[in-house]
Amino acid sequence: VVKMVLDGDNCEGILINPFGPALFLPRQMLEPLSYVRPSSRIYLMEADITKVGADAIVNAANRTLLGGGGVDGAIHRAAGPELLAECRGLHGCNTGEAKVTGAYRLNADCIVHTVGPIYSGSREDAKLLEQCYKNSMDAAWECNCQTVAFPSISTGAYGYPIDKAAKIALRTVQNWLWEHPDSFMDVYFCCFSKADLMEYQNALSYLPDIPPEAE
Ligand code: ADP
List pocket residues of ligand 1, CB cut-off 6 Å. Answer: 48-50, 60, 70-72, 74, 116, 151-158, 190, 192, 196
Q: What is the mean pLDDT of residues 121-136?
A: 97
> Per-residue pLDDT tens for 46-99?
999 999 999 999 999 999 999 999 999 999 999 999 999 999 999 999 999 999
d(CA 156, CA 160): 7
Tally Cβ neighbours within 10 Å of residue 215: 7
Q: Is the pLDDT of residue 214 over 70?
A: no
pTM of the full predicted structure?
Answer: 0.86
Ligand 1 atom closest to residue 116's alpha carbon, by position in its atom list: 3
Q: Whose CA is nearest to atom 9 of ligand 1?
A: 156
Q: How far is the CA of 70 from the centre of ligand 1 (A)?
A: 5
Contacts of residues 168-171 at CB distance under 8 Å and 24 or more positions apart, as own/partner, are 168/126, 168/129, 168/130, 168/133, 169/129, 169/133, 169/200, 169/203, 170/42, 170/200, 170/203, 170/204, 170/206, 170/207, 171/206, 171/207
